[in-house]
Amino acid sequence: MSQTTSQQIHVVGLGVNAEASLLPEAEAMIRALPDTGLLVGSERQLAMVSRLSPQAAQLVLPKLSELQTVLDEALQNDTKQVVILASGDPLYFGIGAWVKRHFSHYSMVFYPNVSSIQAACHQIGLSLQEAEVVSVHGRPLASLRRHLHQGRRLVLLTDAKSHPRAIAQECVDFGLTQSQITVCERLGYADQRVTPFSAESLAKQDTTFDPLNVVIVETSDQSARFPATPGFKDELFVTDKGDGKGMITKREVRLAILSYLGAEAGEVIWDIGAGCGGVAIELAYWNAQSGIYAVEHHPERFACLEQNRDRFGVVHNLTTVNGRAPQALGSLPSPNRVFVGGSDGEMAELLETVWQRLPLGGVLLVSSVTDATQMAAMAFLAQRDAQDDAMDESVTLQVQRSERLAGSRMRRPHLPVTLWRFEKKRFEKRQLGKPEMGAMI
Are 110 and 122 found together in one domain? no
Are 417 and 297 found together in one domain? yes
Are 97 and 141 found together in one domain? no
Q: Report angle CA 117, 166, 208 to the nearest 5 degrees.
A: 80
Q: What is the pLDDT of residue 244?
A: 61
Q: Report angle CA 182, 186, 192 to the nearest 5 degrees.
A: 75
- Residue 293 CA to residue 49 CA, distance in Å, equals 45
- Residue 324 CA to residue 350 CA, distance in Å, equals 10
Task: Identify whether 225 is part of a domain.
Answer: no
Are 252 and 345 found together in one domain? yes
CB 351 within 8 A of CB 376: yes
pLDDT per residue, tens digit, the chain (441 aa), is 334 456 889 999 999 988 888 999 999 999 999 888 999 999 999 999 989 999 999 999 998 889 989 888 888 887 889 999 999 999 999 999 999 999 888 899 999 999 999 999 999 999 999 999 999 998 899 999 999 999 999 999 999 889 999 999 999 999 999 999 999 999 999 999 999 999 999 999 998 999 999 999 999 999 999 999 999 999 999 998 876 677 889 999 999 999 999 999 999 999 999 999 999 999 999 999 999 999 999 999 999 999 999 999 999 999 999 999 999 999 999 999 999 998 777 899 999 999 999 999 999 999 999 999 999 999 999 999 999 999 999 999 998 888 887 778 888 888 899 999 999 998 755 444 555 444 444
Task: Identify whether 42 is part of a domain.
Answer: yes
- Residue 277 CA to residue 239 CA, distance in Å, equals 9
For the CA atoms of the chain, what is the radius of gyration?
27
**Residue 268 parent element (H or E):** strand 268-272
**How many residues does the structure list for the chain?**
441
Are 143 and 179 found together in one domain? yes
Which CATH number do you get for residue 138?
3.30.950.10
- Residue 316 CA to residue 285 CA, distance in Å, equals 10
**Structural domain of residue 56, as residue ranges?**
8-114
Task: Identify whether 223 is part of a domain.
Answer: no
Q: What is the pLDDT of residue 437?
A: 46
Are 259 and 352 found together in one domain? yes
User: Model pTM?
Assistant: 0.86
CB 100 within 8 A of CB 114: no
Burial string for 139-174 (b: 16+ CB within 10 Å, else e) reads bebbbbbbbbbbebbbbbbbeeebbbbbbbbbbbeb
Task: Identify whether 228 is part of a domain.
Answer: no
Q: Is the four-CA dihedral 223, 228, 231, 235 of positive or negative sign?
A: positive
- Residue 425 CA to residue 433 CA, distance in Å, equals 14
CB 395 within 8 A of CB 419: yes
Q: Choose one of 114, 133, 168: the last residue of a domain.
A: 114
Are 193 and 300 found together in one domain? no
Counting the structural domains of the chain, the total is: 3
Which CATH number do you get for residue 51?
3.40.1010.10
Q: What is the pLDDT of residue 4?
A: 43
Are 100 and 144 found together in one domain? no
